Chain A
Amino acid sequence: MKNLTALLILLIALSFQVEARPKNPLEHQIVSVRVTSQTWNEYRPWQKNKPRTRTFVGTVISGNRILMIADDLADATLIQVEKYDRPPRIPAQIIHIDHQIGLAIITVDDPEFFADLQPVEIAEDTSGEDYYCATWMSGQLSLAACRWSKTTVFNSSTPYFSYLGILFISDLSGGWGEPVFSGDQLIGLGISQREDRVTVLPVESIRAYLRAVEMDRYPGFAWLGINYQFNKGLAQSAYFGQQGTPRGVLVLSCFPGSSVDGPLQPNDILLKLDGHSIDSLGDYVHPRYGPVDLSLIATDGHYAGDTIDAVVLRNKKEITVSILLKASMPSSVLIPETRLDTPPPYLVAGGFVFRELDELYLKAWGKNWEENIPAYLRTLLHMQQEEASTPERKHLIVLADVFPDEYNMGYHDMAQNIVKSVNGFPIDSISKMEDALQHPEAGFHVIEFIPSYGINKVILDAEHFEEATRSIMEKYQIPSRIRTSGGNTH
């Protein structure tokens, strides 16, 4: 009897507890995603930095899927999801990721996980009122009001690709993928936060991404690759044969291999793109968001593979050209901004550590990396921004470090020089370098650098090269000698 009373009291208490917590359907629509990630050590490219673990927000969508911000999953070594921000944590896998548009989908193996979860309702567009965002905080669903501030164009982690974002003012502390709602419909995902301003990826991009994922073959998103200057001045527009108020923009260059490379030409005035008039500041009028940069036309209802028309003023005559939209590869740039989950290719040779130069390497100089990197690398970085890699020169190989040894005496202070050739072969990749080292010149390896500072030409004894490499690797505990761009080490 006594036991029965106790059980009753317990049951009542439990039911009160459930009652006390206001039911919100959102509890079944968002999950916590704990991501352990580990970046590569850019100086010692065979090893990784200290792992770190952060918790993001995932939004449940149809088909037992969880929608996330792609950047939050970068370099992930372990992904775990939790419902209601409570254990157990269930391991999850990425099923699709697109760093360009910045979205990813994860799932868990056990379909039962989704049994008590509900997909969110996805709005058609961002229109609405009383916007709010949601996240989990210590087991509590936390909601915060969001006030629409303005639309903005921001850069993706993929070079040159930019997309539309909406800035909301909110007292939420996040920017970790929180869904933003109007009523009970999802209108965007919080991508980043600075003070009280949350940048939100609007639902139009989310819908476009989800549609693309459903297709037989994922088409990817395109970028134009156009570099232009304003056309506000009457003298400039008259020079190109325009009468009256200047319109359109002056094409300065087309990024090699990009969508506009070929169809558009330097010194064209781009007047219309995909039916949208381009104003003299390079904006077109988005039906919902007003004037935004013309680069967004490539993703406004389009995927890579689509064709759009452009009207240009070329040699003082208006002509129409068609542009086949192409997706970009981050590696198409001479100094890529990112590698997207791939480790840096490198080669250890005679104690010299060579690697492909990218921005991640330069960022290893710390917070003020752009100011602290060697002057020559800074000039290269800035001046290559209008240059793509070419068949002749895909990438730059930098001497990242020299592990001192008697074998490489006299060359210990040469780090940060850029390789020009090895044994007479021009060098633009680690694999070419490896090949060139198979062909010593009369018993010597001759490594030439682009003149910047220090010695231009390193000469090593080829006979003892392999033995020196081996012993230096052992001395400094370097586990593998080479990683080519395929990612294999040995």
Chain B
Amino acid sequence: MQRSLLLGLTLLLPLLCHGQMNTKIEDSVVKIVNQYNQFDWYNPWNSGSTGKGTGSGFVISKNRIMTNAHVVSDTALLLVYFHNDPQPYPARVTAISHESDLAILELEDSERISRVPALEFDDLPALRSRVITYGYPAGGKLISSTVGVVSRIETQTYVHSGVSQYLAVQTDAAINPGNSGGPVIQNGKVVGVAFQGNSKLENMGFFIPVQVLNHFLVDLQDGKHDGFPLVGVLAANLENPAARAHAGMKKGESGIRVENITRGSCSEGILQIDDIITSFEGYPVANDGTVEWNGLRLRFSFLVNLKQVGEHVQFKIIRGEERLKIDLQLTDFKPFHQRAHLYDTKPRFYIYAGLVFAPLNLEILKSYSSRWLVKAPQELVYETYFRPLIENDYFDTPRVVQIRRIDHEVNAEETRYLYRLVDTVNGEKIATLQNLADAFDRNTQDQHVIHFTHGNRSTFLDRKKADAAHQEILDQYAIPMDRRL
């Protein structure tokens, strides 16, 4: 009897402690209402589609609220609501990292936020330890919290921008739309920010751990956001003993083989194809490309993601017979922005005589079809994903695509090619919309010739008639401007 009472008491105690802390935490968790305006890359001159989204956030300092980038993307008006306070407080985004799906908000009225305690950060929670999420799932008016355990810690694709993998923590605490941006708490401190789910897993959600949160905050200390650096190397695992022997690796040595060095990255000119990376920042790299970090086996890129742009990192490599130490200064090179979802960006375009051109990027591909990967002309997929690998070209080589033709008698009978890469206009090589505008402007021949990159395809326009029709087409189709270069 005594024994079970004691047990009951020990169980109650932590719960009571939590109860006391909860009031503090709830005060610091806010609901964020985002009135957004999303521009349309297919009709880039039109007003965007507007709507309302809700998410969560939490106070991290006197006037700063942390949330997910996706909660506040494309915002036209942001309102913050505090726990048990019906008053909306207008806010603005002061920093945003789409790649790590994080953002910092400040309130126009800093007095309200100063009444709320800032939440402190803790470290990475242990596997199987308990965490509590706080937030406003499904946009409800009152705060909600759910408890779960940390079930896995590994790198994941952050779907908001969709290009990179960073560390993420998986938990069975319910993380639903609206929870996004809310804190994940352990022992009264923040261990992460709830951010995404996975439709393939039942009752599993993911949160961004403090390593990524801190990276973002440290990055911002100099007043600008550089994001994560990139080594710019694709490397092959060396699990096959023959592959290791071929590389001249001795017994006990492990590592991965450099197979591709991204054009323009900080590794270019320093690392070489077939170098074997055996260690990074003192961490031995295993044959499967992982490193052991605080008891976890993580892809070696995780260690890079702990670094800031401008920092130096040390590699140990095997090059031929030699064992070398390599020092690399990390840069802010971002080669993959063409492949990222774009936010907070007004679509760029150029119209001439009804022909609509746009830069090649993921938003343009999505404007073709939600299933663009299989439906769009495959040269666009090849250009975006494969050609730079095969030809060792820059991944961010600018390209221009003709996406539409707005019909008018000056163009309607001419051959139409849509979602095709423009090669030249009037013989001038085209990489940017500015090149395109210049090439049309400079032409003195009777016809404009728009030549596409594949299949020797061309479209022609009568120059004088096209010049004359240009404004008429804009007027007729209510297009207020012909360019945003």
B457 within 8 A of A: yes
State the CA gap A232–B411 with chains docked (Å): 11
Cβ contact within 8 Å between A382 and B414? no
- In the complex, what residues of A have CB within 8 A of residue B448's CB? 235
Cβ contact within 8 Å between B236 and A379? no
Cβ contact within 8 Å between B238 and A383? no
What is the minimal beta-carbon distance from A179 to any residue of chain B, in angstroms? 40
Contact of B447 among A239, A409, A458, A460 (CB under 8 A): A239
State the CA gap A233–B414 with chains docked (Å): 4
- In the complex, what residues of A have CB within 8 A of residue B456's CB? 252-253, 266-267
Cβ contact within 8 Å between A444 and B246? yes
- In the complex, what residues of A have CB within 8 A of residue B462's CB? 234-235, 238
Residues of chain A in range 221-235 having any CB-CB distance to chain B below 8 Å: 227, 229-230, 232-235
**Which of B207-215, B220-228, B304-312, B383-391 lies on the face that meets chain A?**
B383-391
Contacts A253-B455, A411-B240; A230 near B415 (Cβ below 8 A): yes
State the CA gap A378–B376 with chains docked (Å): 11
Q: Which residue of B lies closest to A410 (CB)?
A: B239
Cβ contact within 8 Å between A239 and B449? yes
1/0 per residue B148-173: CB within 8 Å of A? 00000000000000000000000000
- In the complex, what residues of B have CB within 8 A of residue A410's CB? 237-240, 243, 287
- In the complex, what residues of B have CB within 8 A of residue A334's CB? none
Cβ contact within 8 Å between B374 and A378? yes
Cβ contact within 8 Å between B460 and A239? yes
Cβ contact within 8 Å between B243 and A459? yes
A10 within 8 A of B: no
A469 within 8 A of B: no
B contact residues, total (Cβ < 8 Å): 45
Cβ contact within 8 Å between A229 and B457? yes
Residues of chain A in range 454-469 having any CB-CB distance to chain B below 8 Å: 455-461
Cβ contact within 8 Å between B386 and A235? no
Cβ contact within 8 Å between A233 and B389? no
What is the minimal beta-carbon distance from A393 to any residue of chain B, in angstroms? 14
- In the complex, what residues of A have CB within 8 A of residue B257's CB? 457
Cβ contact within 8 Å between A236 and B415? yes
B378 within 8 A of A: yes
Contacts A252-B456, A461-B241; A383 near B236 (Cβ below 8 A): no
- In the complex, what residues of B have CB within 8 A of residue A370's CB? 374
Cβ contact within 8 Å between B446 and A238? yes
State the CA gap A458–B236 with chains docked (Å): 9
Contacts A252-B455, A376-B386, A446-B246; A383 near B259 (Cβ below 8 A): no
1/0 per residue B9-51: CB within 8 Å of A? 0000000000000000000000000000000000000000000
- In the complex, what residues of A have CB within 8 A of residue B382's CB? 379, 383
Cβ contact within 8 Å between A232 and B241? no
B373 within 8 A of A: yes
Cβ contact within 8 Å between A383 and B446? no
Q: DSSP majority for the A interface?
A: mixed
Cβ contact within 8 Å between A382 and B377? yes
Cβ contact within 8 Å between A455 and B241? no
Q: Which residue of A lies closest to B383 (CB)?
A: A379
State the CA gap A40–B460 with chains docked (Å): 48
Residues of chain A in range 346-385 having any CB-CB distance to chain B below 8 Å: 370-371, 375-376, 378-379, 381-383
Cβ contact within 8 Å between A252 and B385? no
Residues of chain B in range 453-485 having any CB-CB distance to chain A below 8 Å: 454-462, 465-466
B381 within 8 A of A: yes
What is the minimal beta-carbon distance from A88 to any residue of chain B, in angstroms? 51
- In the complex, what residues of B have CB within 8 A of residue A227's CB? 455
State the CA gap A379–B259 with chains docked (Å): 22
Cβ contact within 8 Å between A229 and B415? yes
What is the minimal beta-carbon distance from A404 to any residue of chain B, in angstroms? 12
State the CA gap A461–B373 with chains docked (Å): 38
A386 within 8 A of B: yes
Cβ contact within 8 Å between B390 and A451? yes
Residues of chain B in range 267-290 having any CB-CB distance to chain A below 8 Å: 287
A452 within 8 A of B: yes
State the CA gap A266–B386 with chains docked (Å): 28
Cβ contact within 8 Å between B460 and A459? no
1/0 per residue B370-403: CB within 8 Å of A? 0101100111011001100110000000000000
Cβ contact within 8 Å between A232 and B414? yes
Cβ contact within 8 Å between B246 and A459? yes
Cβ contact within 8 Å between B378 and A232? no
Q: Which residue of B lies closest to A461 (CB)?
A: B242
What is the minimal beta-carbon distance from A457 to any residue of chain B, in angstroms? 7
B260 within 8 A of A: yes
Contact of B390 among A411, A450, A458 (CB under 8 A): A450
Contacts A375-B373, A379-B381, A459-B243; A252 near B457 (Cβ below 8 A): yes
Q: Which residue of B lies closest to A232 (CB)?
A: B413
Cβ contact within 8 Å between A455 and B415? no
Contacts A234-B462, A238-B446, A239-B447; A383 near B415 (Cβ below 8 A): no
State the CA gap A444–B287 with chains docked (Å): 19
- In the complex, what residues of B have CB within 8 A of residue A239's CB? 446-447, 449, 460
- In the complex, what residues of A have CB within 8 A of residue B242's CB? 444, 459-461
Q: Which residue of A lies closest to B373 (CB)?
A: A375
A36 within 8 A of B: no
Cβ contact within 8 Å between B447 and A235? yes
Cβ contact within 8 Å between A456 and B236? yes
B245 within 8 A of A: yes
Cβ contact within 8 Å between B259 and A238? no
Cβ contact within 8 Å between A451 and B413? no
State the CA gap A303–B135 with chains docked (Å): 76
- In the complex, what residues of A have CB within 8 A of residue B379's CB? 379, 382-383
Contacts A371-B374, A379-B378, A456-B260; A235 near B460 (Cβ below 8 A): yes
What is the minimal beta-carbon distance from B414 to any residue of chain A, in angstroms? 3
State the CA gap A444–B455 with chains docked (Å): 41
Cβ contact within 8 Å between A379 and B386? yes
- In the complex, what residues of B have CB within 8 A of residue A460's CB? 240, 242
State the CA gap A455–B288 with chains docked (Å): 12
Contact of B460 among A236, A375, A455 (CB under 8 A): A236
State the CA gap A446–B257 with chains docked (Å): 14
1/0 per residue A229-260: CB within 8 Å of B? 11011111011000000000010110000000
Residues of chain B in range 287-325 having any CB-CB distance to chain A below 8 Å: 287
- In the complex, what residues of B have CB within 8 A of residue A409's CB? 239-241
1/0 per residue B161-199: CB within 8 Å of A? 000000000000000000000000000000000000000
A408 within 8 A of B: yes
State the CA gap A233–B415 with chains docked (Å): 7
- In the complex, what residues of A have CB within 8 A of residue B237's CB? 410, 455
What is the minimal beta-carbon distance from A97 to any residue of chain B, in angstroms? 33
Contacts A410-B239, A410-B243, A461-B245; A456 near B455 (Cβ below 8 A): no
State the CA gap A379–B386 with chains docked (Å): 9
State the CA gap A375–B237 with chains docked (Å): 22
Contact of B259 among A229, A230, A233, A451 (CB under 8 A): A451
- In the complex, what residues of B have CB within 8 A of residue A266's CB? 456
State the CA gap A222–B260 with chains docked (Å): 45
State the CA gap A56–B461 with chains docked (Å): 53
- In the complex, what residues of B have CB within 8 A of residue A452's CB? 386, 389-390
Q: Which residue of B lies closest to A381 (CB)?
A: B378
Q: Which residue of B lies closest to A454 (CB)?
A: B236
- In the complex, what residues of B have CB within 8 A of residue A375's CB? 373, 381, 385
State the CA gap A378–B449 with chains docked (Å): 30
Cβ contact within 8 Å between B454 and A383? yes
State the CA gap A456–B260 with chains docked (Å): 9
Contact of A236 among B236, B287, B414, B466 (CB under 8 A): B414
User: Can you report 22 A-B residue pairs in the complex whose CB atoms are below 8 A from each other?
Assistant: A232-B415, A233-B411, A233-B413, A234-B413, A235-B448, A238-B462, A250-B458, A371-B374, A375-B373, A376-B385, A376-B386, A409-B240, A410-B238, A410-B240, A410-B243, A446-B246, A452-B390, A455-B236, A455-B237, A458-B240, A459-B243, A460-B240
Ordered nearest first, which 3 A-B pairs have the shortest CB separation?
A410-B239, A233-B414, A382-B378
Binding site for B on A (CB under 8 A): 227, 229-230, 232-236, 238-239, 250, 252-253, 266-267, 370-371, 375-376, 378-379, 381-383, 386, 408-411, 444, 446, 450-452, 455-461
